[in-house]
Amino acid sequence: MNTRENSVDQSDRLREKCAVFGIYGAKNAAKLTYYGLWALQHRGQESSGIASSDGKALYRHSAFGLVANVYTDEDLATLKGTTAIGHNRYSTNGGADPQFNQPYVSNNRVFTLAHNGNLPLVDKLSEFLSSVNIDHAEMNDSGMMTAAIDHELGNGATIDQAVTTVFPLLEGAFSVTAVYNEKLIAFRDQYGIRPLSLAKLDGGYVVASETCAFDTIGAEFIRDIEPGELVVIDESGVTSHQIVKPDLKFDIFELVYFARPDSVLMGKTVSSVREKYGIQLAKEYQFDADIVVPVPDSSIPAALGYAKASGIPFEMALIKNRYINRTFISPTQELRERDVMLKLNPIIDLLKDKKIVLIDDSIVRGTTMKKVVKMLRGVGVKEINLLISSPPVKYPDFYGIDTPSQDDLIASRMSTKEIRQWLGVDWLGYLSYDGMIEATGVSRDQLCTSCFDGNYPSPIGRRADEIRFVEEKIATGAYSHSAEDDE
């Protein structure tokens, strides 16, 4: 969901850009979509929107803010019909413009679409829209996709014909839900980079970015929508069209960080995969330490796995303030400088004079981790051995994750030893690439690992000029904290 603004979010976390949800055959479709979006809030916190259909008209409500704040009972009551789609948005580039809020609705209000992912290359799509005299100068990739499909529908194509015609023009990552004539439509790019799953509910059907949304509304998981597959759901049931041959390249960062731990991706519970990352870390790095401490929340399963495999006690010695969220109220400069203390509170009795193994899932710019380390030193931690349950993030993402430019990724410009010294930790170790693949339990050729190795399965066009390949050996095998860090 690429926007055309140029400002950059300075967060020190990688962020998913969007979540999609769709439901067919439910009397309270909009209300169930609301609950589904609530379960998917972690995938986007900037804005939220729902569009519904009663077979006669489309209805839409969208606004900036978290799901809990965007909708009232009155808003949901205006979203009539038994078919609905929803979208949570996090834009990569500022994006404080309501024209980019989803779902998109066609000009004649017969078609609506929600998109998770990003099309880094839109040349074919742009040429097509120009050839049919559609002004798309102010459209982002999602808007262009909507306009192209709507054009085909306007020429008399069925929805499956329209999507099939436009599909070859879409280059990048897309998991899409849409509504046309009360039909629910879902389709996924040929690499299946972003997740999309199908479930059933009381005679109807549900589609969502993650299975945790199904659990929230009591839907029963059926299967993942296949890469390159188009699903059309109407009164006759589910019809599948395999538009292109699938070539699965699922983004491993969904398992490393983005997805909720209770979701099931590629047949695996996310929490169990992350725990295996921690177990693998314990095989690769061994320490004489007092406790294992996770940076909450996403690294908790990996820390549990490391503690289990190493025999070092696990302690929740950093407590997260769960009521700190993205906000439109700007804090003072003093509070901005204390943002880590606002989000994390150390339990001093567990940390003072201790040698700890600190576990986190990734390092992006490193600025947040540096503040965490300073905080831990301030409460008297004796030794900090930092382990990351993924390899170094060296390359930007172009498929729907908010990453900074490559020069802002600390691992792209510093060696592991230099990062360790800059952070002020006694030891820094990353999960090896091979160890990550082994712990994931999925064939390497079914995974997209572009953030780690710069290998982009879908063309990124001119964005390739932004990539500078970084060579640094990431060691494998067992190490103790006293080993010489010669990386």
Instruction: Give the residue numbers marked as catalytic.
Output: 18
In terms of Cα–Cα distance, which of 386, 413, 401, 400 is closest to 470? Answer: 413
Phi, psi values for residue 486, rounded to 5°: -110, 20
Whole-number Å distance between alpha carbons of 70 and 81: 20
Residue for token digits 């908010």?
Answer: 402
Residue 226 has what DSSP assignment?
A: P
- What number of CA atoms fall less than 13 Å from residue 116's CA on the CB side? 34
In terms of Cα–Cα distance, which of 286, 342, 334 is closest to 309? Answer: 286
Burial (CB < 10 A; 0-12, 13-18, 19+), residue 395, is buried
Whole-number Å distance between alpha carbons of 152 and 164: 10
Q: Kindly state the tokens that stand for 13.
A: 């976390």
Cα torsion angle, 284, 287, 291, 295, sign: negative
In terms of Cα–Cα distance, which of 299, 456, 11 is closest to 447? Answer: 456
The CA-based diameter of the chain, rounded to the nearest angstrom, is 73
Whole-number Å distance between alpha carbons of 476 and 431: 8
Per-position DSSP letters for 288-343, written without gaps between them? --SEEEE-TTTTHHHHHHHHHHH-PPB---EEE-TT----SSPPPHHHHHTHHHHH
Whole-number Å distance between alpha carbons of 313 and 302: 13
Say how many C-beta atoms besides its own lie within 10 A of residue 203's C-beta: 8
Whole-number Å distance between alpha carbons of 291 and 313: 5
Whole-number Å distance between alpha carbons of 451 and 393: 5
Distance of CA 477 to the CA centre of its chain: 30
Q: Kindly state the tokens that stand for 141.
A: 């990739």
Per-position DSSP letters for 176-225, written without gaps between them? EEEEETTEEEEEE-TT--S--EEEEETTEEEEESSTHHHHHHT-EEEEEP
Whole-number Å distance between alpha carbons of 96 and 474: 39
- What number of CA atoms fall less than 13 Å from residue 140's CA on the CB side? 25
